């Protein structure tokens, strides 16, 4: 884990494993250098209504803030039998 003063100041990174090397914000990618160490939980999206998401399998206490949402990427993540939107492939 990159939990030190230098990595906590990192806000922009060049994501690895991408054909286009474009500087990206750490919250928009899976960079291990982050200003805040956060937990990760893969969930099933059950329903979306306007800006509200209903999920199944969230490992958090009721009322916990959600600070980031990422698409499921089959080459990176290890959950079987998921549906992935075309834009995240």
Write down the pLDDT at residue 70: 79
Write down the pLDDT at residue 47: 93
Write down the pLDDT at residue 73: 76
pTM over 0.75: no
Write down the pLDDT at residue 58: 86
Largest CA distance in the chain: 39
| Cβ–Cβ < 8 Å for 88, 78 | no
**Predicted confidence (pLDDT) per residue in 19-64, tens digit:** 667 788 887 777 777 787 666 778 888 999 998 888 888 888 888 7
| Cβ–Cβ < 8 Å for 74, 84 | yes
């Amino acid at each position: 884990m990159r939990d030190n003063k230098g990595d906590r100041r990192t806000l922009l990174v060049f994501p690895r494993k991408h054909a286009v090397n474009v500087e990206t914000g750490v919250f928009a990618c899976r960079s291990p250098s982050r200003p805040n160490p956060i937990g990760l939980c893969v969930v099933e999206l059950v329903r979306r209504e306007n800006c509200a998401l209903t999920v199944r399998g969230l490992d958090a206490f009721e009322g916990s803030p959600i600070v980031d949402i990422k698409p499921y990427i089959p080459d990176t993540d290890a959950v079987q039998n998921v549906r992935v939107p075309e834009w995240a492939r």
